[in-house]
Structure formats: C-alpha cells, structure tokens
C-alpha cells in the first residue's frame, strides 16, 4: 500500500511532478498569502519520472489558466489535478502556450512594457531550454 505523505483534500487542486528545487518558487508565484484555505506541500519525494519531486495541494481553490501557464514555465512536466469530493475529476498535463501574456517581464530597459502600463506579451520560440521573444521589442 502506498503511504500518503500529505493529507488528501476534499475539493481543490493538486500540482504534482514538480522538480523539488522549483516547489517553493511555484508556491511564491501563486501568491499563497491571498488564499483563505490550507496549502500542503511535500518535497524530495521519490519519482520514477524526475527523480525527486514536489507536490502542492491547495484546499478549496482551483487554478486559473494564467496560473497554470506560470507553472508550465518552471515545471513543464507537472500535472494539475482538479479534486472534487476527494476524487480526481480532471487531470491536466501543463503545457506552455504559444504566447505568454502578463506572465514574464521584459528585460529590455527601453521596452514599452518597462515605461508604460502595458501587459507583457512573449512568443515561445523554444520550450527546452525556454526561449521567448518579447512581442514589443
């Protein structure tokens, strides 16, 4: 029987297959201080796919597409499971979209997004390693 390292959640989201080194970064980009319900995480779990993985369980909250896109940047092999009444009702393999909107900041100091209130937009040129091009530069 498989030992459960962190408690099951009744409703919410489970992010699995995160490289252990990126687990805290993913927690940070999800702004957990804005959540009203518990978040559980485990690090350095054995994984046949990636060696050492992290798992995040977010109680009573479901991720937006923008949040899933942010996860895909750091953990392209992660899975996001939607849990309702203790059952997985949907399992999503994260995938980088062709375009990232409002997720990254352009490093070019003369980019319009650095000087004005404009939502950043990047085209994904390559996934491994990640290579993007700013829409405005």
Give residue-wise pLDDT tens across range 36-66.
Answer: 999 999 999 988 888 899 999 999 999 998 8
Confidence of residue 2 (pLDDT cuts 50, 70, 90): low
Can you tell me the mean pLDDT for 103-129?
93
Q: What does the DSSP 8-state code read for residue 2?
A: P
> Does residue 25 register a pLDDT over 60?
yes
Confidence of residue 1 (pLDDT cuts 50, 70, 90): very low
Q: What percent of the chain has pLDDT over 90?
A: 65
12-93 and 99-134, same CATH topology: no
Q: What is the pTM of this model?
A: 0.81
Cβ neighbours of residue 96 closer than 8 Å, sequence gap 6 or more: 69, 72, 73, 76, 124, 127, 130
Alpha-carbon distance of 113 to 97, in angstroms, equals 20
Note the pLDDT of residue 112. Answer: 95
Confidence of residue 69 (pLDDT cuts 50, 70, 90): confident
Q: What residues does each domain of the chain span?
A: 12-93, 99-134
- Domain 12-93 coded CATH 3.30.70.140: yes
SS3 32: helix
Can you tell me the mean pLDDT for 68-90?
94
CB 35 within 8 A of CB 57: no
Q: What does the DSSP 8-state code read for residue 122?
A: E
Confidence of residue 6 (pLDDT cuts 50, 70, 90): confident
Alpha-carbon distance of 10 to 72, in angstroms, equals 25
Q: b/e per residue, 5-28, with b = 16+ CB within 10 A? A: eeeebebbbbbbbbbbebbebbbe
Mean residue pLDDT of the chain comes to: 91
CATH of domain 99-134: 2.30.30.20
> By CB neighbour count within 10 A (0-12 exposed, 13-18 middle, 19+ buried), where does 29 fall?
middle
> Does residue 34 register a pLDDT over 80?
yes
HEC-encoded secondary structure of 37-104: CCEEEEEEEEECCCEEEEEEEEECCCCCHHHHHHHHHHCCCCEEEEEECCEEEEEEECCCCCEEECCC
């Amino acid at each position: 029987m498989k030992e459960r390292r962190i408690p099951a959640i009744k409703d919410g989201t489970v992010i699995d297959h995160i490289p252990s080194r990126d687990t805290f970064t993913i927690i940070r980009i999800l702004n957990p201080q804005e959540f009203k319900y518990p978040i559980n995480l485990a690090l350095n779990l054995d994984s046949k796919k990636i060696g050492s993985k992290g798992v995040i369980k977010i109680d009573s909250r479901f991720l937006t597409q923008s949040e899933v896109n942010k996860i895909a940047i750091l953990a392209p092999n992660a899975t996001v499971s939607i849990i309702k009444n203790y059952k997985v009702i949907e399992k999503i393999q994260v995938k980088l979209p062709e375009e990232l909107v409002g997720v990254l900041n352009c490093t070019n100091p003369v980019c319009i997004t650095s000087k004005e209130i404009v939502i950043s937009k990047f085209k994904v040129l390559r996934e491994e390693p990640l290579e993007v091009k700013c829409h405005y530069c």
